[in-house]
Structure 1
């Protein structure tokens, strides 16, 4: 049987994290193993800043790249006693490709630039981890996910060609897995023209699900810095409760509303293939964590609180004070779809249509430009969106105390409110 492990950036943020990953991997003695790994620590954030500086031709770009190089050099030095180990040159060559990009004029499409630059984080992290596992006696083969996960040309939100992807994975990977562990990247894919795409922010979970589905894996395990799926973010709330089990449907609801423990696209391919998903703590791998499967929800009375920060609440008004019609909504949704902006909450009245979504400066500026001629637009930025599954009214009162609720919705099981 095949198992898929996914390790996020927090689990490989330093040399100790990589060594701990090796210990976790060494505990698996029963199954063939495919390991999906994210960029190290906050590297994706750093590469996003680098992309922005490069596109805007800022002198800061080279300094940012030097910092990213230095961070990875330190991890290499801490992991390998021998400075002549081939991995040092391999990582250096990976960063030289970024140097070459910075010397060229930026591509007109910002998202194209983003994917070619930010994807380097996963390529570098997996090369380091693969080299260390071999160094530690855990035989493995590094593969380039871009040759297996095939997408269209939607940069930053690559749409997976499932037929092509499944065929390539099934044709090539089982033979390798029969002999050794595979180490590969999360978050990234490739186009038919051999350009790099990414699958959406935090998309490494989705990558693990894609490989697992194609390989008909026994299970997927996401290794996190939390004991499992919690009912709230422990960084924001002092008292949290771990779910021992969640059905696929509830996990999809929670991830859709912004629970960061699982990427929203992860659940569907696992649900369709009936592959259980485990969320476990990488520092305590023997703990049971949370299992997500087809079993019914046994804790439906337990509230789950999900907080999304950096939100913008935008209201559209017709310029002639006519009612908001289906034609108006169609025009607004078309622009949101074209810019790949996901709406987190929306509300309609006679004269306005209001939406709450993640603030991305470049996308927001494009949105305003495209809709400003047809609509009057008002917005508030730097807001927070709270979602409570199986809410109690006293919890809403407690969370909103001393703050302004700009928009609120209550349904049978879910409460959402935007706070200033």
Structure 2
């Protein structure tokens, strides 16, 4: 017999917690749409991740970062005061803000410990992850004071995702240890007070925890934490969707709902393309392919764990919570409207053999090995007799490492400032729409997908493709 109030997962992205008004709206959605237990996965507020990236970069380069850090601190504290007591900045408000201030103190400690001679990616994770910790803490402090618990739920609970989502040490893109994660979540389920089935739980997207290490004494004194602590990892930019899917898989959730600022899963980003079309329903397979090519609504790793458990994914608008949205599930459908996807800040890299020999399997093995080592992801590739070209995201740091490793063996040319366009389920009209008057540097076509790389073109203000 099915439980009358099965567990559901709600994920709220940065736009849905961008300020005090947005967080109040989140509270209303939870109050109106939660009859039973719920896990609420929260992203960093607004553009906080970008801001923390900038602060970290300054600290890593040994540059002054105090002013940039103060802007992050003031933004979170002013939002907290607006939500928890705009007219009372006394002891009660101080008590309510204590946990927020503690996270900000820890952030300062992490920044002070940055060593420019140590690993960039690992230290990045220890700093940028505070966006999610701050946002989830603030949402928890507000929601459990302003919302009533549904009759089927016993507790409100703030949960540190780093204690349950276990990853390896692939910094900035932690690989989930599914067996360890399942075991950790099972332990919570055995605790009457902490069981997700009895709570509305607020937790963080984007972050996980690598195996524990001893913590320096100075850090212990400043934070009051235990002598061993899991090291923070991140799951990749926009990885909060993936977090929701991990919880859904391990906790056998009934559904996952991603709350966005759009009407559902659209065939194009409305900020870039005019007249986008909403898909009322779409299959797991189609969604995986769109996410792989760079569709911004869903993180690429989100769908697989949901498809394995047959957990439907709902994409709904937090601006219009009652609207239908999109249902992603195991379904069949006819021909879909063409999907338009754009990736910016791309780099086209071409490798040529120096002695004019063919690009052989042995050459490709070397190139692929170094691309994997420097962690440059291939979005498009093409080879000819004596050259091999790839399109990747542009990262000066990773590109320089690639050049250093391969320039002795290959002649390498690269272009930056490019865009990669993908049309899924293309037709003649959609091809004309995107390729008109563009110089295509590289193109590739299959039965259902057309991709091309071109130079970035600045549109007129307000003009959509």
Structure 1 length normalisation: TM-score? 0.97
- Residue 243 (structure 1) aligned with residue 279 (structure 2): yes
The answer to whether the 8 Å contact 2:262/2:316 transfers is yes
Partner of 2:359: 324
Given the alignment, which residue of 126, 129, 132 partners 2:142? Answer: 132
Q: Cα deviations across residues 312-366 of structure 1 (Å, max 9, x unaligned)?
A: 1110111111110111111111112122221110000111110011112222222
| Pick aligned residue for 2:378 from 322, 343, 356 | 343
Residue of structure 2 aligned with 1:69, choices 69, 73, 85: 73
Instruction: Using the TM superposition, give the Cα deviation of residue 93 of structure 1 relative to its aligned residue in structure 2, in angstroms.
Output: 1.5
C-alpha distance in 1, partners of 2:210/2:373?
Answer: 19
The Cα of 1:74 is off from its aligned counterpart by: 1.9
Equivalent residues of 1:400, 1:419 under 8 A apart:
no
Q: What is the CA distance between 1:105 and its match in structure 2?
A: 4.2
Question: In the TM superposition, what is the alpha-carbon distance from 1:173 to its structure 2 partner?
Answer: 4.0
CA distance in 2, matches of 1:248, 1:129: 31
Closer/same/farther in 2, CA of residues 134 and 407 from structure 1, 3 Å limit: same
| Aligned-residue offset at 1:32 | 1.1
Match of 2:202 in 1: 183
Which shows bigger deviation, 243-252 or 90-99? Answer: 90-99
Can you list the C-alpha shifts for 1:269-303, whole angstroms capped at 9, x where unaligned? 000010000000011111110000001133x2411
Q: Are 2:157 and 1:141 aligned?
A: yes
For residue 31 of structure 1, report the CA deviation from its aligned partner: 2.8
Question: 2:52 aligned with 1:47, yes or no?
Answer: yes
1:405 aligns with 2:421: no
2:228 is aligned with 1:209: no
- 2:172 corresponds in structure 1 to 156
Q: Is the aligned partner of 1:386 residue 2:424?
A: no
Name the structure 1 match of 2:39. 34
Cα deviation code 1:199-241 (max 9, x no counterpart): 0111000000000000000000000000000000100112110
Say if 1:115 and 1:197, in contact at 8 Å, map to a contact too: yes
The Cα shift of 1:403 comes to 2.1
Return the alpha-carbon distance in structure 2 between the equivalents of residues 24 and 137 of structure 1. 10
Question: 1:367 Cα shift?
Answer: 1.7
Tell me whether 1:266 sits opposite 2:302 in the alignment.
yes
Q: How many corresponding residue pairs?
A: 418
3-state SS, counterpart of residue 287 of structure 1: coil
Please provide the CA RMSD for this pair. Answer: 1.3
The offset of 1:394, in angstroms, is: 3.2
SS at structure 2 position matched to 1:108: coil
Do the aligned partners of residues 301 and 289 (structure 1) sit closer, same or farther apart at CA in structure 2, a change above 3 Å counting? closer
1:310 aligns with 345
User: 1:253, 1:31 → 2: CA distance?
Assistant: 33
Judged with a 3 Å threshold, the aligned counterparts in structure 2 of structure 1 residues 208 and 301 are, in CA distance, closer, same or farther, namely closer
Contact 1:87 1:128 in 2 (8 A): no
Tell me the equivalent position of 2:311: 275
Structure-1 separation of matches of 2:262 and 2:56: 30
The match for 1:293 is 329
* Aligned counterpart, 1:91: 100
Look up the match of 1:101.
110
Gaps of 5+ in 1: none
Task: Give the equivalent residue in structure 2 for 1:360.
Answer: 395
Structure with max Cα Rg = 2
What is the alpha-carbon distance in structure 1 between the residues aligned to residue 331 and residue 390 of structure 2?
34
Which residue in 2 is equivalent to 1:195?
A: 231
- For structure 2, the residue ranges without an aligned partner over 5 or more in a row are 1-5, 150-155, 213-229, 456-465
CA contact (8 A) 1:276 1:291 kept: yes
Greater Cα shift, 264-273 or 352-361? 352-361
Alignment-derived partner of residue 15 in structure 1: 20
Q: Is the 8 A contact 1:276 1:293 kept in 2?
A: yes
1:180: how far off? 2.2
Deviation for aligned residue 1:414: 0.3
TM-score, with length taken from structure 2: 0.88
Tell me what 1:5 maps to: 10
1:52, distance to aligned residue in structure 2 (A): 1.1
Give 1:138 shift: 4.0
